[in-house]
Amino acid sequence: MTDLPTHAEIHEEGPREGFQIEPGPISTADKIKLIEALAATGLEHIQACSLVNPRLVPGWADAEAVLNGFRPRPGVEYTALWFNANGLERALAFRGKLTLHGAIALTASEAFTRKNLNRSHAENVEAMRKQTSLHLSKGVPVDRIGVMAAFGCNYQGDISPTQVIRTLEDGLAIAAEAGTNITLFSLADTMGWATPARIERVLGEVRSRWPDKRLALHLHDTRGLAVANAHAGLRMGAAGNNCTEELVLLCEEMGIKTGVDLDKLIEVGRMAETIVGHQLPSELIHAGSLDAFRRLAA
Amino acid sequence: MTDLPTHAEIHEEGPREGFQIEPGPISTADKIKLIEALAATGLEHIQACSLVNPRLVPGWADAEAVLNGFRPRPGVEYTALWFNANGLERALAFRGKLTLHGAIALTASEAFTRKNLNRSHAENVEAMRKQTSLHLSKGVPVDRIGVMAAFGCNYQGDISPTQVIRTLEDGLAIAAEAGTNITLFSLADTMGWATPARIERVLGEVRSRWPDKRLALHLHDTRGLAVANAHAGLRMGAAGNNCTEELVLLCEEMGIKTGVDLDKLIEVGRMAETIVGHQLPSELIHAGSLDAFRRLAA
């Protein structure tokens, strides 16, 4: 219990990932409204958009309009997601408004690398080697390694902690060759295979191998276990994403400060429901915070 | 980690509690179909119906028809829920087909007792004293104490572990006076106030006070934390209910046997969606089990 951090840094990916999975068109104005409302809740890290090929992700064809449109709030860091040289160029145009970080993105599953990127793992390592040099040549720091499918894969089955460690070693070799220092490992449960027991096992092995690295989890609620996985991650000293308001509630009730006003965040969640035109899979935005009831009961 | 049980006893309350919260009328035949399908998954404890006033809960006006209608499966224990002498009489008519247990049902929140039962806590203790005698006089064992609002209350706010312990002491005094032995404490998160940290605190105090009692949790997913709460409970040696298929996945992936065939249970979940005519709040029945993907990947 004493292992718990006193503060958790929450990275909000709702605008980028949330809108990406919505079928309906979301107006540029609504995207801007949501980004500005999120910044007013106390969240300090907001991923604002995806700089990907508009033919593949038509919902983010207006990424530049969104980035131009929102008023940045002092003290809040805005980021964007990109995967290739073209995306990086688009991000560089917003240097100053966006905080730019490059990542070495690998996958623990060879089968998923082939399925998702049509490359072998070795070819992907080679591509990341080039991309890391490119980032550094543009003055964009590369300080993190991301590992997709770190807990299991629909095409390969269970992924062992050893495979995760080997993948991180491949990433560290790329970083060493390029002369950049990695401070953060991000492990992604891309296809929803994580369970609390598996999180503990993988994070335990990674942490004992590299005790000085910060650990982050990217979780999906594919099988309903995301909040239990986030809790297991917090106990292992790793922040994990999932439904942001649930994560804030979980942290605050554990005595871990987030700096986020949960009631405001719940209001923003309700605003997001109005924007997308349907209920979102969050029990909490429908039930309200515990503090709201505490105030009524007091 | 070594604290984990090797086996979890799962009590399925889907037919009783699930159908109770559905707005639409569910046919008697569909209720029977679901009960029989659940019994075929390996579940060994199924709460089949609610024997309550049909004017208050019209959806269970056909409780007797359901109890008469389903074919019991050998090795499966079927139970029912009741709250008063009239419900007990109705349950006694199915002695043999139903396994009957009486409970001493108290509430840790004085404000909720008044709101829910229109009684003071003292009046409720008195009512439970009478009900316990009645159960025992009919040969129905009273072996459990249930505490509602054990983690917090919309009308009273946070509930301290001390209040839970006092409520359990009141229940034990009723049992001692009636000469019956309590083997199980069931703590209910009636209004969705539990968090993993709170579960650990309350269960820790209860367990150190009464190390020999079995502990059960009755959880609600009001704020999305039920699965994290169930996981925290399992680590404290207490089984907790929530979405059954998530609980089975959680247990099996932790190496805790449940005896349940998860793929069959997911099929029954999909059958339940057809019966109620809308999606159920379970990610897992839509995503499928990990074992199904493991078989494909092998």
Confidence (pLDDT) at A1: 41
Domain identity same for A120 and A219: yes
Domains of chain A: total: 2
CB contact under 8 A, B154 and A230: no
Domain identity same for B113 and B210: yes
Q: Read out DSSP for B118-163? A: SS-HHHHHHHHHHHHHHHHHTT--EEEEEEETSS-BTTTB---HHH
Domain identity same for A70 and A119: no
- B1 in a structural domain: yes
Which two three-digit tokens encode residue B252?
């099996």
Q: pLDDT of chain B along its 298 residues, tens only? A: 446 677 777 888 888 888 877 877 889 999 999 999 999 998 999 999 999 999 988 889 999 999 999 999 999 999 999 989 999 999 999 999 999 999 999 999 999 999 988 999 999 999 999 999 999 999 999 999 999 999 999 899 999 999 999 999 999 999 999 999 999 999 999 988 999 989 999 999 999 999 999 999 998 888 888 888 988 988 887 766 667 888 888 888 878 888 889 999 898 888 888 888 888 877 887 888 888 878 887 7
Q: What CATH number should be reported for the domain holding residue B213?
A: 3.20.20.70
Domain identity same for A91 and A172: no
CA-to-CA separations, B298 to A154, A155, B294, in angstroms, rounded: 10, 9, 6
Least confident of A21-30, A87-96, A192-201: A21-30
Contact between B85 and B131 under an 8 Å Cβ cutoff? The reply is: yes
Q: What are phi and psi of B142, to 5 degrees?
A: -115, 100
Contact between B193 and B170 under an 8 Å Cβ cutoff? The reply is: no
Chain A residues within an 8 Å CB radius of B281: 281, 283
Contact between A69 and A102 under an 8 Å Cβ cutoff? The reply is: no
Which two three-digit tokens encode residue B63?
């409780």
Domain identity same for A242 and A293: no
> Which one of B158, B196, B246 has the shortest CB-CB distance to A294?
B158
pTM: 0.83
Alpha-carbon distance B133 to B137, whole Å?
6
- A256 in a structural domain: no
Domain identity same for B114 and B227: yes
> Which one of A152, A231, A297 has the shortest CB-CB distance to B228?
A231
Domain identity same for B111 and B246: yes
Domain identity same for B45 and B89: yes
- A266 in a structural domain: yes
- A138 in a structural domain: yes
* Domain residue limits at B234: 101-251
CB contact under 8 A, A195 and B253: yes
Give the H or E element holding residue A244. Answer: helix A244-253
**How confident is the model over A264-292, as pLDDT tens digits?**
989 888 888 888 888 887 788 788 888 88
Contact between A155 and A112 under an 8 Å Cβ cutoff? The reply is: yes
- A1 in a structural domain: no
Domain identity same for B244 and B135: yes
Reported ipTM = 0.76
Domain final position from B251, B270, B286: B251
DSSP A14: I
Domain identity same for B92 and B111: no
CA-to-CA separations, B287 to A78, A145, A241, in angstroms, rounded: 32, 28, 19
Sign, CA dihedral A129-A134-A137-A140, equals negative
- B51 in a structural domain: yes
- B256 in a structural domain: no
For residue B275, the SS3 value is: helix
Alpha-carbon distance A271 to A248, whole Å?
18
Domain identity same for B211 and B279: no
> Which one of B157, B197, B231 has the shortest CB-CB distance to A253?
B197
CA-to-CA separations, A4 to A34, A52, A174, A239, in angstroms, rounded: 31, 37, 32, 11
Q: A226: distance to nearest CA of chain B, Å? A: 9
- A2 in a structural domain: no
CB contact under 8 A, B250 and A195: yes
Alpha-carbon distance A132 to A126, whole Å?
10
Domain identity same for B115 and B146: yes
